[in-house]
Amino acid sequence: MELMIHSSSFLLPNIPAGEEAYALVLLNQRLPQFTPLLWQHARVRVCADGGANRVYDEMPLLFPHEDAAIVRHRFKPDVIKGDMDSIRSEVLSFYSELGTDVVDESDDQDTTDLHKCIAYINGAMPNVDKSSFCILVTGALGGRFDHEAGNLNVLHRFSTTRITLLSDECLIYLLPKTHRHEIHVNSSAEGPHCGLIPMGMPSGRTTTTGLQWDLNEAEMKFGGLVSTSNIVKAEKVTVESDADLLWTISIKKF
């Protein structure tokens, strides 16, 4: 089975040369403290609808000693996309006048805002090397649970695209069953709390190394064992499973 390597370099101030390229999607929940770091690493920054309100309102709060207008000019989204039912009119005007590309998709009620943004980014970057390209997402967790579930489902629906959901407390990404996985843990920025979640389908057999409570061909399912409150013990964690799993690890206080 082919190997898939994972590393959260985007949490580090300087990304080692030759490593991943990033896009950033901002949804409508409070921005994590490290959002400016993600913004700086990303090639393209897409606000999903009310995510633009968050950038407008909260980026200046992360730079309290600077003029708000200067901060807002510095953190200008490349695209604002979605149904446009949450973005405030003054925020929409501000960014359109600055040159942000506004893509109104209020016709399409069948897919979530995150889904639209992922599809957009994939379409805009058709030649990118998928093995080293990752879409970082803020604001997908917390808030209304149906929104969160819809966002987790986007990870499963785009299982061949690397997508990482981020909050102040943790990150989540999919480990597709098509590959065996090596997770390189940056212990200055993440861990030690972690988990493996068989969302949507039970796992008949999962094996790991590098965890306090490693799994050895263990069965996992909702209603039975789900690996939560586990602890990373090594710099490298390996996972092999017969089912798609969500990997989650805590993020250290920024």
Q: Which residues bind a copy of itself (CB under 8 A)?
A: 112, 141-147, 149-150, 152-153, 156-157, 159, 167, 169-170, 172, 193-195, 197-202, 221-224, 226-230, 244, 246, 248, 250
Q: Closest CB to a copy of itself among 112 and 241?
A: 112
- What are φ and ψ of residue 211, in 5° steps? -110, 155
- Between 68 and 201, CB nearer to a copy of itself: 201
Report CA 157 to chain centroid distance, whole Å: 14
CB of 17 to a copy of itself, least distance (A): 31
What is the smallest separation between the CB atom of 203 and a copy of itself, expressed in angstroms? 11
Please identify, using beta-carbon distances, which residue of 132 and 142 lies nearer to a copy of itself. 142
Cis peptide before 16 (omega within 30 of 0): no
Cβ proximity to a copy of itself: between 120 and 173 the closer is 173
Q: Find the shortest distance in angstroms from Cβ 158 to a copy of itself.
A: 10
Burial of 145 (0-12, 13-18, 19+ CB in 10 A): exposed
Exposed e or buried b per residue across 179-191, where buried means at least 16 C-beta atoms within 10 angstroms of its C-beta = eebbbebbeebbb
User: Which residue, 58 or 78, has its beta carbon nearer to a copy of itself?
Assistant: 58
Measured CA to CA in angstroms, residue 161 lies from 23, 36, 50, 239 at distances of: 12, 23, 24, 18
Task: Return all residues near 100 (Cβ < 8 A) that are at least 6 apart.
Answer: 76, 77, 78, 79, 80
> Shortest gap between Cβ of 157 and a copy of itself (angstroms)?
6
49 phi-psi bin (left φ>0, alpha ψ -120 to 50, beta other): left
- Please name which of 29, 19, 16, 22 lies closest in space to residue 151, comparing C-alpha atoms: 29
Smallest separation (angstroms) from a copy of itself to the CB of 63: 26
In the bound state with a copy of itself, the residue whose beta carbon lies nearer, of 71 and 211, is 211
Distance of closest approach, residue 132 Cβ to a copy of itself, in angstroms: 24
Q: Residue 216 — φ and ψ, nearest 5°?
A: -125, 95
Q: How far is the CB of 134 from a copy of itself (least distance, A)?
A: 18
CB 225 within 8 A of CB 245: no
Please say which residue, 88 or 221, places its beta carbon nearer to a copy of itself: 221
